Amino acid sequence: MPVELPEWALTLQLPLLGRLLLATVLGAAVGTEREFSGKPAGLRTNILICVGAALLTELSLLTANEFAAHELIRADPARIAAQIVSGIGFIGAGTILVSRGSVLGLTTAATLWVVAAIGMTVGLRLYVEATGAAVLVVLTLFGLGWFEEKVIRERSERSLEVVLEDPSADPAPVEQLLGELDFEVQRLGHRREEDGVVFSYSIRGKRRSKDELLRRLGEREDVRGAHVE
């Protein structure tokens, strides 16, 4: 038999608060991995997105039910919730960094997108499904991230091309940066172009070091572009 809550509990909307608390826990579970990875969208961002998505989904349902109860108009219970999917795209786009030919932040953007979906699932009161999805996301980020770094890509060989704007530029600062990030480096050569010089390298290093390398190269004023394959 369904449990009847006391009047004070209904006034405080304890069931809704419980759902928001669950969204907080699930968002924190995903955000913890992002925080450990040093990503800009970390613990707080993922919690806020998950709670916000759950609350907006709840409001979408309540609004539609309110209109239906008073027979005012036909309301679509998915109208508000549908805007979450497009709205989260703007936040996700803000986490993607495109700098001089390098693209970073795609995993973070995808994580925010799926965290919003988890929040919506909580708002729809599908608690088991939301929890299961959060567990799968955490396992993917933690487990597969470790697998990629330790097994697949830890010491995989890649080619790096760095384009310097000055045709007479010294590549020593770039090679020093590679050493600081613990890459094994072999210079393959260089070629001059009209608007600069391209230095080619064979590098071995960790996946996260590659992301840091591209980020720091993108911050240098003398680097016109960098690409890793």
Q: What is the pLDDT of residue 70?
A: 59
Average pLDDT, the chain: 79
> In angstroms, rounded to a whole number, what is the distance separating the alpha carbons of residues 80 and 68?
16
Least confident of 6-10, 162-166, 185-189: 6-10
Q: What is the pLDDT of residue 105?
A: 74
Element (H, E) at 135: helix 127-139
b/e string for 67-92 if b means 16 or more Cβ within 10 A? eeeeeeeebebeebbeebeeebeebb
Q: Is the pLDDT of residue 185 over 70?
A: yes
Residue 97 gets the label, from left (phi > 0), alpha (psi -120 to 50) or beta, of beta
Q: What is the pLDDT of residue 100?
A: 47
Q: For 34-59, how does the pLDDT look when each residue is reduced to its tens digit (9 = 90+)?
A: 887 777 778 888 999 999 999 988 88
The answer to whether 50 and 32 are in contact (CB under 8 A) is no
Q: Mean pLDDT: which of 32-41, 52-61, 67-76, 96-105 is highest?
A: 52-61
Q: For 151-166, how does the pLDDT look when each residue is reduced to its tens digit (9 = 90+)?
A: 555 556 778 888 888 8
What structural domains does the chain harbor? 7-152 (no CATH), 157-228 (3.30.70.60)
Q: Is the pLDDT of residue 132 over 90?
A: yes
Q: What is the pLDDT of residue 52?
A: 92
Between 51 and 79, the higher pLDDT residue: 51
Q: Is the pLDDT of residue 170 over 90?
A: no
Determine how many CB atoms are found less than 10 A away from the CB of residue 172. 8
Distances (CA, A) of 141 to 92, 109, 155, 207, 217: 17, 13, 20, 14, 26
Q: What mean pLDDT do residues 173-197 have?
A: 83
> In angstroms, rounded to a whole number, what is the distance separating the alpha carbons of residues 171 and 107?
31
